[in-house]
Every structure is written in structure tokens, then in C-alpha cells.
Structure 1
Amino acid sequence: MPESSSSITRRTTRFTRRLLAAVLALPLSAVGLVVGAAAPARAAAGTGTTASVTLGDSYISGEAGRWKGNSVATGGNRAGTDRSWTGSGYDPSRIYGSTYASGCDRSDVAEVRSAPTVAQTQINLACSGAVAANVYRAANGGQSFKGEAPQADQLAAVAAQYNVKLITLSIGGNDLGFSDVIETCVKDYLVWYSYCHDDQQGEIDSRMPGAMAGVGKALDEIRAVMTNAGYRAGDYRIVLQSYPSPIPRSAEMRYSESGWTRSNTGGCPFWDGDADWARDSLVPQISGELGKVAAAKGVQFMDLADMLQGREVCSTATRQPTSTSAPSATTSEWARFVDGGLNSSQGTVQESMHPNYYGQQALGQCLTLMYARPSGDYACRNTAGRDASGMYLVAE
């Protein structure tokens, strides 16, 4: 549990200050075609080249796809984890393309790209940091974001050019202020020596109705776009997905909450009580509410709350790669650690707490499995000791 201020010397090292500064910018990290060919000529709705489209925020755009696990190594390819290493420097655009400059961070292994068998073309319209209003059509209150038109307006152009078969949406986390929760919990661990969950639960509860209303409107906007493009209800499917927990419960943390290892080695600076709350209360609560929205709007729901079980940052079932132990989908973490402090030279802070290269491949397999189920709601989970091929669905 948190140590009392009277029993501990306040930790005001440069590391602490740098780590705190780093977490201040955490977001939940438009037409982004992920295929190189030019779009085909306009076709009648429901005909032509098939397409799978993703919309929403960073948990589906591909944020953190740069990383194969986490390592404290600071040079070169960082023990094999940094895919942007060129041999002489770092080039994140190799992973995120032109969207690295804008901050949308659509990776080459984003969920839709890791599910290539769903449709002939994979199109990623999601953007890191997006809220529900960035999905709505401009004519209905939608807002442009990072230099791109609202995602529903971009979808209209895609629907006119392709035969859209599947639309997958991840939205609501930024409307709930999830990055604010992370920032507060990290501060409470490093500076205030108090739990964050007692006050943050109230913040989440107060924002939940508005956030879920926004998710519902986003689904309505998507449907309106498809109807206006001439699609019938049976021509395509919509899947709303939830969020996985990037950190484990306290009993499954491989570092003690006392000392510095959770901060400067593991990249998981959270108290046991806050980790338990996030893993077993907050994430399930958000999934439950999103599931209700999906049911109310008549779309399929994919529950990802347990998708990273045993693969989270600092999980006892994983290990960090080293110079003598390469990254592996079966042993490495599937989410990005809090990138700050001693690790501030690695990548960008907004990649923190997102599914990484391995996690995104797993999400792609979840989507592939989901597409094979034309109806019903499912939770997607992993099989211990296996890579993305071990993902499976459980009916809800």
C-alpha cells in the first residue's frame, strides 16, 4: 500500500520529474488507405472490391505498433524491440507512414491490417486521440481532427468506392478521460503516495453517460453514411469493440510496489490497489457499458477486457528482452510500458499503455475470428504460451 509521507523521504530525483513530465501528454492514441493501389472507380453499393474499415481512436489506429515488447536498453534497436531502428538511427515513419507526422499513428500492423483475410482491402480511418465527435459527420456536429475530416465523412467516400463488408469502431476512451486517469495514478504513485482509484472512480462515473451517448451517436452516424451510400442493412456489418487492460492485477505484477523497479524498469508505476481497480473494476465497467450501447444499437460487440491477460506490462507471465534474449510473441509483453523517465529517449509518450506489435497482431486475429461469426457478441482471449494464432472467442 502507499507509504505515508512521514515514513519516506520524498523522491524528487531527476528521474521522477522526467517521468511525470512524460505522462502529461498521454492520449488514447483522415482517409488512411493501407493498400498502395489507387481506389477503384465508383461502384454500386454492395458491389466491387470488398473492404474492411476501422474507425475510432488509438486502440484501433495502431498506436505503439512500433514496439516488439519493452526493454530498458537505450541504444540501437533496444534489444530488438524498436522496429524503427534503421541501423544508424530511428525512423518511426517506417511503421506509421505519413501519419507519424500528424500524430494519428496508423501502424503497419494495426488491427485491420493484421486481419487481411476479412476483405480484399483494409482501410484504417482511426486516429490516436480521437473522441466521438471526431467520428460524426461534419453536417451533424462532427469535428475535424489533426488536419483530417471527420471519420464518418471519410467513410462516405470509402463506401462510394468500395464494397464495404465490415466496419469496426473503437471509441469512448478519450471521452471518458482515460489518459487523465493514467496521469493521475502515476502522479499518485510517484509523488503523493496515495491511491488514485478512490477519486478517479467518481470522475469516470460522472463522464460515463455522456461518453456512452457519444458512442451511440457515432454508431448512428456510421449507419446513416452507409444508408445514404445505398447500402442495405444486410450488405455490411458493424462491430463495436471495448478496451483491454494494459496492466495486470497486483497479484500478477512481477515487481514490488515499493522501491523503483515498477517505475524505472517495468514502466508500470501504479500502486497495487490502483492496479487491481484498473484491471478488475474500471476496464470491465467500460466494457460492460459499451456492450449495452452495442445491444441498444443492434451491432455486434467484441469484448477485449481480458485480451491481454498474462501479456500485460509487468505481468509475471512475461519478461523483457535483453541483448541475449530476443523479443518473442510467446514471452514478451503485448502492451507498451509507460515511456518516460529513464526511458524517455524511447519513442513517444502517447504510445504508452497501448497494444504493441504483438498485441495488434492478436487484435487482428480477434477481428478475423469475429468476422467468421455473422451474429452474436463475443469476448476475445489469448492462449498462454502461444502467439496471435492462439486467440479464441467466447460467447457472451
Structure 2
Amino acid sequence: MACSGARTFNVLGDGQSGEVGQLAAGYLDQNTTLVTLSIGGNDARFSDIMKKCIDLQDPQLTTCPYSELDNQDPVTGEDAPGTTGNLKDWAPKWLHDTVRPRIVKTLTALHTAAPHAKIVLMGYPRLVEKDRSCFPGAYEDVENVWVRGLADNLASEMAGAVSDAGTWAVFSDPRTNFDGKAACGNPETIHAIVETGRERADTEAPAASMKTLHPKIAGARIYADTLEQTLKKM
């Protein structure tokens, strides 16, 4: 129920690329028995944070937990006045106070549209292994430790959102299944930085490809296995 790049407001209202919002598309009704989605990572601004940490354009910036982002309105994604302040202080508060309730609102709206369905919220892996040697030197160990911890924080808030929503919602956590296999892992099932082999819509060169830090085919298989494990427990 969530397209690539979607935030909660894309599910709840405004769609992407001229499409109607996913809820308004008419896929859900009283006959729906299962809904799956991954939502929250883009609301958490994980992509913006990773760009700050990797920072290919400004390699002397090596302390992304102490950098900041321009503010955005969580309801629209539009720019808002001011900045976040230090990411290490802002991110946990943003996840708990903003992202978690936005996920609850999304799950509740899905439940209203499909009242007889189980709703499975798919989580996110830790994107980069502890050995981050396949990444550029601008991405330091201290940053990777912080980013991996932030992924754990996001998982906790997503699980909390499911608990807040109701017994009809379930959290499916892929972190353990991806351990050792994320970017820089062996086998690597999440793309590290990809600069070549772009699809036709992937046009933002010299910026890294949209494949960067997204699952490879083998990673999609791990996601599917994680979902299957969750469904068997339901």
C-alpha cells in the first residue's frame, strides 16, 4: 500500500507523480484480508540523513550526528522555516513525537478502509554493516554506529506504533534476517553506493543512483521471507 519513496501523507492523501493517494485508489474494502506496507523510513528522513553522513560533495564533513537539516512539514513534505539542530538530538525526538503518530494515523486509516484485514507493517534493516569498508572515507565508523543505532530506534518506534494502533496490526522486523548481508556485507543484499547502471527514470546524476541503499533482488527475497515468517505466526 505504499509506493517507493512514499511518506505517510502519500498514503493518507496526496499521491505521487500525478497518481491519487494509495488509500483513495480503491484497493481496500470489507473483503480485504491482508494489507502489507513499509512506511516511516521516508518520514524519518533517513535518505536526507544518509546524504549528510556520506556527504560525497563535502568530504571534510565527517560528523553527521552534529550536522542539521532544513525543516520540513511532516504533513506535506514541504520546506518549513528553520533547521533541525543537531541530528543526534533531533532524530530520536522526531521519530517518537512525529513519525510514530503519523504511522499510527496511517494504520488506523487502513483499518477503517479494510476493517477485516490484518495489517502488516514491514520494518527496515540496518542498511550498512559494521564493516563499512565499501563506503567512501567520508562515512566514518562513528557515523555508521550512529546510523545503525538510528535504524534500531526507528524499529522500536514502528513496533510501538503497531502496539498503539490495535491488535489488528502486526510489525514484521527484518533486521535479524539482514544481519551480515546489508551494504558491505557478504553476500551483499542491499546496494551500497551505485553510480552506474541507471534505469531510465534514474536521472539525477552525478548524484548516486536511486538504487543506493535499497535492496537487491536477494534483499527483496529476504523481505519476502521475513513477511512469510510473520504471517506463519499470525
Matched-pair contact (CA < 8 Å) for 1:172–1:215: yes
Q: Which residue of 2 aligns with 1:21?
A: none
Task: Output the TM-score relative to the length of structure 1.
Answer: 0.48
Q: Which residue of 2 aligns with 1:220?
A: 108
CA distance in 2, matches of 1:189, 1:345: 18
Q: Which residue of 1 aligns with 2:52?
A: 184
Q: Which residue of 2 aligns with 1:306?
A: 176
What secondary structure sits across from 2:183 in the alignment? coil
Q: 2:21 aligns with which of 134, 145, 150?
A: 150
Give aligned pairs, total.
Answer: 203
In the TM superposition, 1:156-305 aligns within 5 A as 157-160=26-29, 163-187=31-55, 191-198=59-66, 199-208=86-95, 209-227=97-115, 235-249=116-130, 252-253=131-132, 255=133, 262-263=135-136, 270-279=139-148, 281-298=149-166, 299-305=169-175
CA distance in 2, matches of 1:201, 1:226: 38
Q: Which residue of 2 aligns with 1:325?
A: none
In the TM superposition, 1:64-75 aligns within 5 A as none
Q: CA deviation at 1:163?
A: 4.3
What secondary structure sits across from 1:239 in the alignment? strand
CA distance in 2, matches of 1:306, 1:197: 25
In the TM superposition, 1:284-363 aligns within 5 A as 284-298=152-166, 299-315=169-185, 318=186, 332-339=187-194, 344-347=195-198, 348=202, 349-363=209-223
Q: 1:370 aligns with which of 212, 230, 234?
A: 230
Matched-pair contact (CA < 8 Å) for 1:171–1:215: yes
Q: CA deviation at 1:202?
A: 2.4
Offset from partner CA, 1:189-238 (integer Å, 9 cap, x none): 952242212332223134221111111110111011124xxxxxxx4211
What secondary structure sits across from 1:238 in the alignment? strand
Where in structure 1 do 4 or more consecutive aligned residues deviate above 6 Å? Answer: none
Q: Which residue of 2 aligns with 1:131?
A: 7
What secondary structure sits across from 1:355 in the alignment? coil
Q: CA deviation at 1:346?
A: 2.2
CA distance in 2, matches of 1:193, 1:144: 35
Gaps of 5+ in 2: 67-85, 203-208
Matched-pair contact (CA < 8 Å) for 2:100–2:160: no
What secondary structure sits across from 1:311 in the alignment? coil
Matched-pair contact (CA < 8 Å) for 2:8–2:102: yes
C-alpha RMSD of matched pairs (Å):
2.1
Q: CA deviation at 1:133?
A: 0.7
CA distance in 2, matches of 1:219, 1:357: 27
CA distance in 1, matches of 2:126, 2:57: 18
Matched-pair contact (CA < 8 Å) for 2:135–2:193: no
Q: CA deviation at 1:186?
A: 1.0
CA distance in 2, matches of 1:145, 1:369: 31
Matched-pair contact (CA < 8 Å) for 1:246–1:355: no
| Structure with greater contact order relative to length (CA < 8 Å, sep ≥ 6) | 1
Q: Alignment identity in percent?
A: 23
Larger radius of gyration: 1
Gaps of 5+ in 1: 1-54, 57-126, 137-141, 228-234, 256-260, 319-331, 375-396
